[in-house]
Amino acid sequence: MIKRIYTSWLFIALLTAVACKKPDFEAQQQAMASGTVSDYLKNNFDFSLFAAAIGKAGLMDTLNQTTAAFTVMAPTNSALNKDGIYNAADFDKWPADSLRYFVKTHILPVKLFYNTIPLSSDNRYDNLNNTRLYISRANDAQVALTVNGVNVQKQPSLGTASQASYSITQLNGVVYALPNTVKVLPGTVQAFLLARPYFSHLVAGLKKFGYWDQLATDGPFTLYAPMDSCFERRGITLDSISRMDVAHYDRVVFGGYFLQPNHLFVLDVKQLPPPNGVIYLAFQCPDTKYKLIMLQQSFGSGVGIVTAASTARPDLEPVGPNASKPYGEQGTLFLGETTNTIFVADLNGIYTNYTCTNGVVHLLSDLLVMPDKVSR
């Protein structure tokens, strides 16, 4: 009799445990999957441009192998539109090897489910090019999943609001939707600048103040890069840079444009927030008298250079071109950002970064340092 009662209670306990267990939404998706990653991309209009790129790169059959395993970070059509791609024929202008590299950048040779990604910043995974992607997962819903600083789109249509998922599971892999393309380049930060003539003023200044050769070393670096037009708008020319007396300026005048050793994406600030009571993150510049302030609401959108001493006081002391502007507008905006973009979540799909072999490059809409504010 005692044995029967014990068995009954055990059965009830098992039923209760099963009833209380939350469903594994990704496991349900996997069980229902009936096609390959290739099938899904070809038959989903939102990914029609990326599917065309895959086909032109000769990788469609690869993604159709049912015995293989892939994770595809798939840019949506609107993401490719931002890069000037509006129809499949636009890919015909690309060199074949460049197109293949671009497509393989977005593909990992492993099934990577959302719940298996560690809750940390910059988890490293190699793609089909054998170059590294940085995938971050956080508890903050605004930046819950990012790839090289690009927010991954939720897929609420796959379930109820509480079950909204980031991944689309297929027989041979997982697809994540991206609002921006991931820009991973095979060269160094230095090579990035050299390949783009519109950074000639920044290059000249980095050379003048002895920082240029560093940018070809291992790093890692985070470089904030204003184009030539930013310097010219402020009355700084190649000729005036060549005539600068190095002894007359603090080296932050051009040393303020990069950090080492740091590998920072903008959304990292949301995933690794400042301590309680602090509304910005400060990073030491190569010139120890100055710090770079990143994504601070009170200092303005974007980034800025301030005196190191002022970070220990209530009021920051910026040295950029917008230092005299009202509270909240002193920072330098990222390229494509507007003065209304104060909160980091609003950057989703706006700003662009480039991942190089030894660091990250962020494009700026203005200068970080004005020479007259750091003169001796």
Residues 166-199 have pLDDT tens digits of 889 999 999 999 999 999 999 999 999 999 999 9
Band (143; pLDDT cuts 50, 70, 90): confident
pLDDT of res. 299: 60
Cis peptide leading into residue 220 (ω within 30°): yes
Quick count: other Cβ atoms within 10 Å of Cβ 343?
A: 12
* HEC readout, 219-284: CCEEEEEECHHHHHHCCCCHHHHHCCCHHHECCHHHHCCEECCCCCCCCHHHHCCCCCCCCCEEEE
The separation between CA 225 and the C-alpha centre of its own chain, rounded to angstroms, equals: 15
Exposure string for 271-286, b = 16+ CB within 10 A, e = fewer: beeeeeeeebbbeebb
As a whole number, mean pLDDT of residues 327-354 equals 72
pLDDT of res. 30: 53
pLDDT of res. 274: 63
Band (3; pLDDT cuts 50, 70, 90): very low
Write the DSSP symbol of residue 321: T
Most confident of 13-27, 28-42, 53-67, 334-348: 53-67
Q: Which residues pair with 176 in a beta bridge?
A: 73, 167
**79 vs 183: CA distance, rounded Å:** 12
pLDDT of res. 121: 87
Note the pLDDT tens digit of each residue in 287-340: 999 999 886 555 666 789 999 999 888 788 999 998 888 767 788 888 877 766
Quick count: other Cβ atoms within 10 Å of Cβ 128?
A: 17
pLDDT of res. 138: 87
As a whole number, mean pLDDT of residues 134-162 equals 79
Note the pLDDT tens digit of each residue in 227-241: 999 999 999 999 999
As a whole number, mean pLDDT of residues 80-101 equals 96
Note the pLDDT tens digit of each residue in 212-227: 999 999 989 999 999 9
pLDDT of res. 156: 63
Structure tokens at 360: 């990250």
As a whole number, mean pLDDT of residues 147-152 equals 92
Domains defined for the chain, CATH in brackets: 23-178 (2.30.180.10), 189-373 (2.30.180.10)
23 vs 154, which has greater pLDDT?
154
User: Which of 238, 233, 229, 235 shows the shortest CA–CA distance to 201?
Assistant: 238
Note the pLDDT tens digit of each residue in 201-212: 999 999 999 999
**pLDDT of 56 higher than 50:** yes
Note the pLDDT tens digit of each residue in 246-282: 999 999 999 999 999 988 888 777 776 666 666 678 8
Coil vs helix vs strand at 167: strand
pLDDT of res. 182: 96
Q: Assess contact for 169 and 33: CB atoms under 8 A.
A: yes
**pLDDT of 9 higher than 50:** no
**273 vs 267: CA distance, rounded Å:** 10
Residue with tokens 């989903």: 44
pLDDT of res. 301: 63
Q: Assess contact for 370 and 318: CB atoms under 8 A.
A: no
Region of poorest pLDDT, from 51-55, 113-117, 253-257, 324-328: 324-328
Q: Assess contact for 103 and 129: CB atoms under 8 A.
A: no
As a whole number, mean pLDDT of residues 115-132 equals 93
pLDDT of res. 18: 40
As a whole number, mean pLDDT of residues 163-167 equals 73
Mean pLDDT of the chain: 85
**pLDDT of 1 higher than 60:** no
pLDDT of res. 330: 81
pLDDT of res. 21: 43
